[in-house]
Amino acid sequence: MKTPGLSLDSIEQASELIDPSFLHTPQYVHSGLSRRLGRDIAVKVETLNPIGSFKGRGADHFMRSLPPGRQVVCASAGNFGQAIAYAARARQIGVTVFAATTANQAKVAAMRDLGARVELAGADFDAAKAEARAYADRHPECLFVEDGDDPRIAEGAGTIAVELAPMDVGTLLVPVGNGALISGIGCWMKARSPRTRIVGVCAAAAPAMAHSWREGRPVPSQEAATMADGIAVREPVPAAVDWMRDYVDDVVMVPEEAILRAVHVVRDTLGLLVEPSGAVGVAGALQHDFADGPLATIITGGNLSDAFRAELTS
């Protein structure tokens, strides 16, 4: 059975209801970055909020539907868990997050600081997600929430598209992890700005979502060995694959060296220290040629590991 589509009305309502801390983030054409790329590019910066990533939009929209006192369990590489914990804190909702034993320790600490109970289990994100699902099965009082599966999370992320509308974007490069971000953005853009091409960018070392989009079905990969932990998906979420087939025009992949180069370019031009997954859209612009017309991307997160931060600032 085909997955139900996302709701345009829900995205537009969310753009007025979501915690203002996550809305109306900076967006602009940057001359230095444009010069480095050889063409104009607009960026939307989603790192200047209480959790340092775009994930707060979808988490806030989702958590508004839950009653106080509910218990939630999820898996996260770090940013989604922070977003759920932040949204839960104001609603007296308990949160348990499963993260891989290899997870970014700065992100783990941030989740705990926000009040989440964090369990480290499994060698990677997808293994941690399996542990989270098993935990929820053993604890029926807990609601398992999966990033990329619940429409409200994708619709909350889609509010980025509402804000980008005045930029008149020709091609929008969107980092792809579980697929919620690009699906929500694509849903709104296809209805309100159909001339905008929605192009996903995946790490070549974590190709599952790219292969799944091309095949039209979930295609797992054996590993997701990318430095961009926020998009290191090995087991695609079926709902997100369905949404992407409806709302996405193309998906490209970028090698690890392009991702690292993009992080440095963002630092040297925009003056921002961002995590590798946050710079993947810029890596796409560095690595691939796109049609003429206004180009834009989203800087999705700035939660670096301590070691990577030290490397960038040394």
The reply to whether the predicted model has a pTM over 0.95 is yes
pLDDT in tens, the chain (314 residues): 456 789 999 999 999 999 999 999 999 999 999 999 999 999 999 999 999 999 999 999 999 999 988 999 999 999 999 999 999 998 999 999 999 999 999 999 999 999 999 999 999 999 999 999 999 999 999 999 999 999 999 999 999 999 999 999 999 999 999 999 999 999 999 999 999 999 999 999 999 999 999 999 999 999 999 999 999 999 999 999 999 999 999 999 999 999 999 999 999 999 999 999 999 999 999 999 998 889 999 999 999 999 999 999 98
DSSP 278: G
SS (H, E, C) 19-68: CHHHCCCCEEECHHHHHHHCCCEEEEECCCCCCCECHHHHHHHHHCCCCC
Residue 290's alpha-carbon distances to 38, 40, 170, 185, 248, in angstroms, are 12, 12, 10, 19, 15
Tokens of 89: 């804190």
Q: How far apart are CA 157 and CA 48, in angstroms?
A: 15
Residues 6+ apart with CB under 8 A from 172: 164, 185, 189, 196, 197, 198, 199, 296, 297, 298
Residue spans of the domains in the chain: they are 8-53+151-313, 55-144
Tell me the three state secondary structure of residue 185: helix
Kindly report, residue by residue over 216-256, the tens digit of the pLDDT. Answer: 999 999 999 999 999 999 999 999 999 999 999 999 999 99
Query: Interhelix angle for 306-313 vs 105-113, to 10°?
Result: 120
Tokens of 251: 């998906």
**Residue holding tokens 């909350």?**
156
* Domain 8-53+151-313 CATH assignment equals 2.120.10.30: no
Q: Check for a shared fold between 8-53+151-313 and 55-144.
A: yes
Q: How far apart are CA 69 and CA 46, in angstroms?
A: 29
Give me the architecture of the 55-144 domain, per CATH.
3-Layer(aba) Sandwich (3.40)
pLDDT at 21: 97
